[in-house]
Amino acid sequence: MRVTSALFVSAYIRRCNLEGAAAALVKRGAEEAGAIFVSVDRLDGTVDLYAPAPQTAFDDRPDERLFQRVAERATPADVEERLSRERRFDPDLWVVAVEDREGRCFLDLATG
């Protein structure tokens, strides 16, 4: 059984903070199943953006949340523009901001 978006985000923020990265909720989405986006500010003027992986990435793990990097070392303005487009498409999405000099995302990433 897949955990709710609210529970996942809460646990994710806690994990980031325990690992020494600052994490905060930027936008709250739908409690049960809102899509989750994570921006990782590398504190060098660049940001990575992670989005939910497409369903094709869930071969044998349908209950897990997998992510894919959709922007690497982008400008904060580019990431904000992308998130604005996503919000227009899906107003129920979540956005979590992480600050980590190493660029760690602490997410399960889809392979391939």
* 64-105 pLDDT, tens digit each: 889 999 999 999 999 999 999 999 999 999 999 999 999 999
Rounded to 5 degrees, φ, ψ at 36 are -115, 130
List Cβ neighbours of 75 (8 Å cut-off, separation of 6 or more): 45, 46, 47
- Give the closest residue to 50 by CA, choosing from 12, 18, 20: 12
Mean pLDDT, range 45-65, rounded to an integer = 80
Kind plus residue range of the DSSP H or E element containing 32: none
pTM to 2 decimals? 0.92
Superfamily designation of domain 5-99? Protein of unknown function (DUF1491) (3.40.1530.20)
> Can you give the residue ranges of every domain in the chain?
5-99
Q: Look at residue 45 and tell me whether its pLDDT is greater than 90.
A: yes
